Amino acid sequence: MENNVIELRDICKSFYGVQVLKNINLDLKVGEALCIAGENGSGKSTMIKIISGAYDYDYGMLKINGKEFPSITPSQSIAEGIQVIYQDFSLFPNLTVAENIGLSYHLLENKKAYNAKSSREIARESLNRIGVDLDLDRLVEDIPVAQKQIVAIARAIMQDAKVVIMDEPTTALTQNEIYRLYDIINNLKASGVSIIFVSHKLDEIFAVCDRVYVIRNGKEVANYPVDQFERGKLSYYMTGAEIYEEAFVPEELSEEPVFEVRGYSNRNNFKDISFKIHHGEILCITGRLGSGRGELAKTLFGVSPATEGEMFIHGKPVRVRNVSEAIKHKIAYIPDDRLAEGIFLRASIKDNLVAVILDNLKNKLGLVNEKVKAKSAAEWQERLAIKATLGAPGQSLSGGNQQRVVLGKWLASNPEVLILNCPTMGVDVKSKSEIHELIREMAAHDIAILLISDDIGEILNNSNRVIVMNDGRISFEAETETLDYDSLSEKITEIL
Amino acid sequence: MNKIDQKSSFMSRLTETVNNLLMRNETVLVLITIGLSVIIGSINSKFFTIGTIYEILLATVVWGIIGIGVGIVMISGGVDLSSTTIAIFSAYSATKIMLAINPDAPLILLFLIAIVIGGLLGLVNGLFISLFNIPVFFATLATATIYKALMLEYIGNIYITPAQMPQAALDFSRTYVLGGLHVSVLLMFALLILSYIILRYTIVGRGVYALGGAPESAARIGYKLNRLKLSIYIYSGMMYAIGGVVYVCNSRLADPYDLMDSRLTVIAAVVLGGFSLTGGKGSVWGVLLGALLSTIIRNNLILIGISSDWANFVFGLIFIAAVVLQAFNTARTKRRTA
């Protein structure tokens, strides 16, 4: 009993009469890594916000370090050694690594004067503790995402943190960065820090967590030590429905490739990339962050022009020097950062769905025919099962639904080639499998599909051929069925 | 082999350092200022006399001091449109108050009265901005109009002639040190150094940058944002007031209609000094350099026969170049981390 850092007893919480947490019980032991899994809206973030003091709870009891807190403020929670690493990391882009870590320390210690030297020392010490060496004087806006996360972790543990809560920490990381994060977490555990790890990726859960806690509709549905947890059951617990994903097997392949690229290069980003995609195929290009996979996708779509190389669609040479040429040749691109690049947040779902095909909706005067527009949008809404009214703004949708709107926007233009850049990043399990379903359906509909992904499970199940990029070049190519999780992961993370 | 590697890595580090230095706004500004001075100086040798340099510094003083306040607000993520209104409001009111109670009081009284008034007006700005959480640009556009109306209606709308000005103010305007350097230049440097220390070595000062970089994160690590904002606007209000008093003293008259139209001039000088309209960036030395450069362009191009209209043209060009450089830098960092 004494070695519980956090205890929740019968915690209930309602917002505007809607109960989001129902009698939640939870114990977190010293040095334990607990995974909290649940779909979007299941109540897991509310749970974390109650622990971190951002929300009050309505009923129940919260005990931290053996002390009861009828209500707790964020600074009390921090003082008790609870640190949350938010998905956006909450860093200051305009300050250096040392300042980002050191400034929190100065505030916690209630200092009035800022001492740059002690900031550096604190930062150095904290980074040493997680075994990472970073340039302390670089601005945070200049460092890659993975390093930003390390800064956020270093900041969290700099003051005797007892509990570090990580909210989906791996969404922005590639596989080998994730491995490093595992090491960091294991180090923290060994030094007696408890971890709450919010995630719904199986591999992660089994790699670092001691216990799995699944929440659905505000209720606990599973709470097991990880070795008693059935791997296949997670999505069942999370969604309440069994989801099976069978490996993708292409139907008949066409003789001629639909899409072919020869010797594609873009300055220092990637060199000499060649591949073909036939009808019915899903080709996956993977690689670490910085391997050039993202740049390749953008170059194919004309975001930046290729410096060398040729492109063929149905055997005919085409040139794509900018995005409008790509659209003209019926190449569609779905970006990884759907919020920033794919959806017009303020525009209605209807406007979003027809954004690419506006040209086809013109009447004789060159004005948009509203009736045709509404019909077209409604059709895609139905086909993609988007749960919302067409007039609602894009930002009102959940992540998975936003992804579907972006998908629909491009499908409406009847593309020949569809490039999907990490289409399921940050999407919950159920939406993910629905998106996979859609991708497969499109492959069957004569669209050449290029899937860019670093989610190994996704690649193995949803492509028939894999190309691994490493340092801007193709380092490996194989039929997906000849690969398994470990062999592919090894190819991606190998250092050339 | 190893040696060559070391050498080449040293060279690449050196070029990187030089590149980074070149990309810094301060460096670019110094280079432009020097380049412009060399051009003016080579055509008109009078430019490079100590007298001219002192003159330029004197002409920079008011913009430098007001610029500190505008700059600090800009670091925190706002554009203050009330700066020069607060400056003239505080200076004109302080002069009238001092004339009313004791025209022979020492200069420090004039400054103190103005600083209190400026601080209060800044506080009102801060209250609007933090309580209602409205954009600084709109809040200060509104308060500037209100302050102007209040001053003209309740404090006065008739300018104070040189003959009426307090003796201490007139004495101040004639005080030179170091063989001809006006004393207000020293005041400006003192305020720059004070602000530099506050911004760099205090928690509140670092908080100004934190607030401008990521307000929500600043709150999460324990900054009390409303208190921080109030401090920022009070301090800026005080800087405006000091700038206003120096302006009134040096021009030896206090005209309530003066200075108010110059608020965009100060903002332009500060942006030229490397501040970003989106906040989080800038240093007091940038304020100084921006103010110096804009003064040289506006006042000294005439030395080489460029009329003041064309001087404004040149200023516009350099301003655009500065903003383009900023945008370019932002795009570059974005590309690097993408």
Q: What is the pLDDT of residue B11?
A: 66
Do B202 and A142 make contact, defined as CB atoms within 8 angstroms? no
pLDDT at A301 over 80: yes
Specify if A249 maps to a domain: no
Give per-residue pLDDT as tens, A363-374: 777 777 778 778
Residue A113 lies in a domain: yes
Are the C-beta atoms of B297 and B315 separated by less than 8 Å?
Answer: yes
Task: Round the average pLDDT of chain B to a whole number and report it.
Answer: 89
Give the closest residue to A101 by CA, choosing from A146, A54, A137: A137
Q: Are residues A474 and A410 in the same domain?
A: yes
Residue B189 reports pLDDT greater than 60: yes
For residue A460, tell me if it sits in a domain: yes
Assess whether A292 and A431 both reside in one domain.
yes
B127 pLDDT exceeds 60? yes
Examine residue A417 and state whether it is found in any structural domain, yes or no: yes
Query: How does pLDDT run across A101-126, given as a tens digit for each residue?
Result: 999 889 888 889 999 999 999 999 88
pLDDT given at position A157: 83
Q: For residue A298, how many other CB atoms are within 10 A of its CB?
A: 21
Binned at pLDDT 50, 70 and 90, residue A226 comes out as: confident
What domain range includes position A75? 4-239
Gap from A232 CA to chain B (nearest CA, Å): 35
Would you say residue A383 lies in a domain?
yes
Residues A233 and A304 in one domain: no
- In chain B, where are the structural domains located? 51-324
The answer, yes or no, to whether ipTM is higher than 0.85 is: no
A80 and A215 share a domain? yes
Most B-contacting residue of A83, A86, A114, A120 (CB-CB within 10 A), to test interface: A114
Identify the pLDDT of residue A495: 67
Contact state of A94 with B280 under an 8 Å Cβ cutoff: yes
Does residue A370 share a domain with residue A465? yes
Q: Which residues of A touch B218 (CB under 8 A)?
A: 92
Q: What backbone torsions phi and psi does residue A329 show, to the nearest 5 degrees?
A: -85, 15
Judging contacts by C-beta atoms under 8 Å, the chain A residues touching residue B220 are: 74, 86, 90
A305 touches chain B (CB under 8 A): no
In a domain, A190, yes or no: yes
Domain B51-324 adopts which CATH fold?
ABC transporter involved in vitamin B12 uptake, BtuC (1.10.3470)
Task: Please write the tens of the pLDDT for every residue from A399-444.
Answer: 667 777 877 787 777 888 999 888 877 666 667 777 888 888 888 8
Last residue of a domain, one of A239, A273, A307: A239
Same domain for A302 and A221: no
Are residues B205 and A99, on separate chains, in Cβ contact within 8 Å? no
Mark which of A191, A210, A239 sits at the end of a domain.
A239
pLDDT of the residue at B135: 92
Do the Cβ atoms of B337 and A99 come within 8 Å? no
Are residue A214 and residue A357 in the same domain, yes or no?
no
Kindly report the CATH number assigned to the domain that includes residue A435.
Answer: 3.40.50.300
Q: Does A94 touch chain B (CB under 8 A)?
A: yes
Which chain A residues touch B333 with a CB distance below 8 Å?
139, 141-142
Sequence-distant (≥ 6) Cβ neighbours of residue B123 within 8 angstroms: B230, B233, B234, B237
> What are the contacts of B100-106 at 24+ separation with CB within 8 A?
B103/B166, B103/B167, B104/B166, B104/B167, B104/B168, B105/B166, B105/B168, B106/B168
Count of domains for chain A: 2
User: From the candidates B21, B74, B220, which should be mutated to test the interface with A, based on the most A CB atoms within 10 A?
Assistant: B220
Same domain, A453 and A356: yes
Test A111 with B203 for CB contact under 8 angstroms: yes
Contact predicate A73/A52, CB 8 Å? no
Same domain for A161 and A40? yes
Contacts of B204 in chain A (CB under 8 A): 112
Q: Assess A90–B contact: CB distance below 8 Å, yes or no.
A: yes
How many other C-beta atoms lie within 10 A of the C-beta of residue B227? 13
Are A164 and A281 members of one domain?
no
Query: B280 and A111 in contact by Cβ < 8 A?
Result: no
How far is B210 from chain A, CA to nearest CA, in Å?
Answer: 6
How many other β-carbons are positioned within 10 Å of the β-carbon of residue A128?
A: 11
In this predicted structure, which of A27-31, A385-389, A475-479, B33-37 has the lowest mean pLDDT?
A: A385-389
For residue A12, the cross-strand partners are: A59
Clarify whether residues A429 and A476 are in a common domain. Answer: yes
- The answer, for A336 touching chain B at a CB cutoff of 8 Å, is no
Residue A269 and residue A174 share a domain: no
Task: Give the B window 161-220 contacts with A, CB below 8 Å.
Answer: 200-206, 209-210, 212-214, 216-218, 220
Closest-CA residue of B relative to A290 is: B338
Tell me, yes or no, whether A193 lies in a domain: yes
Closest CB to B337: pick one of A103, A115, A143: A143
Q: What percent of chain A has pLDDT over 90?
A: 27
